[in-house]
Structure 1
Amino acid sequence: MSETGWIGEAPRDAGFGDYFELLKPRVMRLVVFTAIVGLVCAPVPVHPVVAFAALICVAAGAGAAGALNMWSDWDIDAVMKRTARRPIPDGRVTRDEALGIGVTLGAFSVVMLALFANIFAAGLLAFTILFYAVIYSLWLKRATPQNIVIGGAAGALPPMIGWAIATGGVSVESLLMFLLIFLWTPPHFWALALFRNEDYVRAGLPMMPVTAGPRSTRNQILGYSLVLVPVAILPAFTSVGGPVYLAGAVVLNVLFLRGAWQIWWRDEPEAEADRYRVEKKFFALSIVYLFLHFCLFLAEAGLRAAGLAAAGWPTLT
């Protein structure tokens, strides 16, 4: 493999889909969704046109971070089974193209968000892109088993960006949304790392199961889950929560804690047929867990808006 990031012959002409894949669209969807929740739950109304334009900027910023991550991780992606078919190691896009797209999209998204919304929201977006593309991808990911813990801050910032688009600042509520994602990230990714351990060993990445072993990783999954549960329930008692959020969050966190306990409790080794079955179930549950928490935020925001409308209060200025 050469420094251009492809193997063998020069890459074929790339299509739109190849370049779009560079932007990590699945991650982008999660970023935009949590940013929408932060924006909708904020106490300051935003004109729909401004909100739409601002969210396009957030999506572009997320795509820029994804492209820069693929640019930096081309050598890692090439040796891991789940990433070997990404555009750069698969020979569809060069590293230079990924770098150009990432830098251009990143600059565009930050400047335009400053114009459509405010400087503070744009600054948060710029910090998120730089933290993910530079601090996490170029440094933490290859340097420490705490990479996911520290690097999780980048993925936790979008709801704060959405809140800042509306308000120009932060609040207890947006910080709790940040903490929900931040504390969810280690159990979520360490469950993945347990059943993808061979990939990380082959890539030479210091993920927790590689450096500390499965037992220590399971201990930490349970530990972070115990800290996460009260933080995830706490928003119910703030302006973005309510009885619907409280009821849903209690159920979700009981299920999450049960899954973390099952991971911690199980013995090593298990029969090959059951290998990592518990971890895979917990990983799938963790995705639904986060998505539904933010759906509950939206449900509460919808109920508040309906109540204001019924009372004759304007909901848009």
Structure 2
Amino acid sequence: MSDVSINSPEFTGQGFEGEAQFGDFFALLKPRVMTLVVFTAAVGLLAAPVPVHPFVAFCAILFIAVGGGASGALNMWWDADIDAVMKRTARRPIPAGKVTGDEALAFGLTLSAFSVVFLGLASNWFAAGLLAFTIFFYVVIYTMWLKRWTPQNIVIGGAAGAFPPMIGWAVATGGISVESVLMFCLTFMWTPPHFWALALFIRKDYDHAGVPMLTVTHGRRSARNHILVYTLLLAVLAIATAFTSVGGPVYLVVALVLNALFVKGAYDIWRRDEDVSETDNFSVEKKFFKLSLLYLFAHFGAILIEAVLTRMGMGGWT
């Protein structure tokens, strides 16, 4: 790891009184990120054409959530050095001295094994294997390799956050399909504009941490161009999904409205002057970032509504 070792007193909690509390370990799980993982996985499971017993579904979503949290804990363990120098992450449990690096590592590894094994026992081993690969991809491929190596880190690494609906679908069906791949692609294409918008107004954090985000390596203008291009591609994908088996009239309305707003927001970011952005403290960029959070939840919520309507004989285009 760069800069400072996580085994130094700054990251092990040495010199701090008291033991780690439950809330400190819970914070390692990145609960806000876990919310998105749980929701998209649940939609993938419920949208699948194969019914799942409610108890099995509950257990499966629980273990997927634990696996997502384990990834977060291992991410914080590895990134403790850069977390310490970024204002946005300086209060995380390890740099704040509330949890030691060794504790976070043990916690993350234990939860990873627990989630994969019990998901396999509760549903099927294909879904469990997909969860194990997701954890590996996020921790090793993205956190340990891509994040500090390439400005395309969030593009490739975004796949890790796109797997949950595929896992949920696999719990129900035991495999993957065009529909689960579409849900994967929706999240995958959404990730770059979402994170690049954030990077526009916290660029100094990434500068200080030495993380090669696009805003650092190529500048904010390049990031603005990329946001617009990815948003246009995302809009095409999102609207086209309305005419597949997981879409329908309700989804189409949601997709048309949100993608019109999203493209408008990306265009506003693209045409922004850096001096103006600095003057108003990146108000447009922050507004786009907040909209991006609603964007994904609303699209998957619409897929869920279509699945419920289909089971009632009223969904889809039939």
TM over 0.5: yes
Of 64, 72, 75, the match for 1:58: 64
1:30-179 aligned at under 5 Å gives the runs: 30-179=36-185
CA shift digits 1:8-56 (9 cap, x unpaired): 6145311100111011111111101000000000000000011111111
Secondary structure of 1:52's partner? helix
After TM superposition, the score normalised by the length of structure 2 is: 0.94
Partner of 1:205: 211
Partner of 1:312: none
CA shift digits 1:144-200 (9 cap, x unpaired): 100000000000000000000000111111111100100000000000000000000
Measured at CA, do residues 29 and 302 of structure 1 come closer, stay the same or move farther in structure 2, by a change above 3 Å? same
Partner of 1:314: none
Is the CA contact (8 Å cut-off) linking 1:11 and 1:91 kept in structure 2? no
Is the CA contact (8 Å cut-off) linking 1:152 and 1:185 kept in structure 2? yes
Cα displacement (A) at 1:108? 0.8
Cα displacement (A) at 1:278? 1.0
**Hey, what's the Cα distance between the residues in 2 that align with 1:55 and 1:291?**
17
The count of aligned residue pairs is 309
1:275-314 aligned at under 5 Å gives the runs: 275-307=281-313
Q: Are residue 266 (structure 1) and residue 272 (structure 2) matched?
A: yes
Measured at CA, do residues 76 and 307 of structure 1 come closer, stay the same or move farther in structure 2, by a change above 3 Å? same
**Hey, what's the Cα distance between the residues in 2 that align with 1:227 and 1:308?**
30
1:226-241 aligned at under 5 Å gives the runs: 226-241=232-247
**Hey, what's the Cα distance between the residues in 1 that align with 2:277 and 2:50?**
55
1:177-192 aligned at under 5 Å gives the runs: 177-192=183-198
After TM superposition, the score normalised by the length of structure 1 is: 0.95
Q: Are residue 3 (structure 1) and residue 9 (structure 2) matched?
A: no
Measured at CA, do residues 214 and 126 of structure 1 come closer, stay the same or move farther in structure 2, by a change above 3 Å? same
Cα displacement (A) at 1:226? 1.1
CA shift digits 1:86-137 (9 cap, x unpaired): 0000000000000001001001111111111111101110010011011111
Amino acid at match of 1:110: V
Cα displacement (A) at 1:233? 1.2
Cα displacement (A) at 1:272? 4.4
Amino acid at match of 1:46: V
Is the CA contact (8 Å cut-off) linking 1:6 and 1:88 kept in structure 2? yes
**Hey, what's the Cα distance between the residues in 1 that align with 2:63 and 2:209?**
33
Amino acid at match of 2:110: T
Amino acid at match of 1:250: L
Is the CA contact (8 Å cut-off) linking 1:37 and 1:298 kept in structure 2? yes
Q: Are residue 245 (structure 1) and residue 251 (structure 2) matched?
A: yes
Please list every run of 5 or more consecutive structure 1 residues that lacks an aligned counterpart in the other structure.
Answer: 310-317
Backbone CA RMSD of aligned residues: 1.4
Is the CA contact (8 Å cut-off) linking 1:11 and 1:93 kept in structure 2? no
**Hey, what's the Cα distance between the residues in 2 that align with 1:192 and 1:111?**
35
Secondary structure of 1:12's partner? coil
Measured at CA, do residues 119 and 270 of structure 1 come closer, stay the same or move farther in structure 2, by a change above 3 Å? same
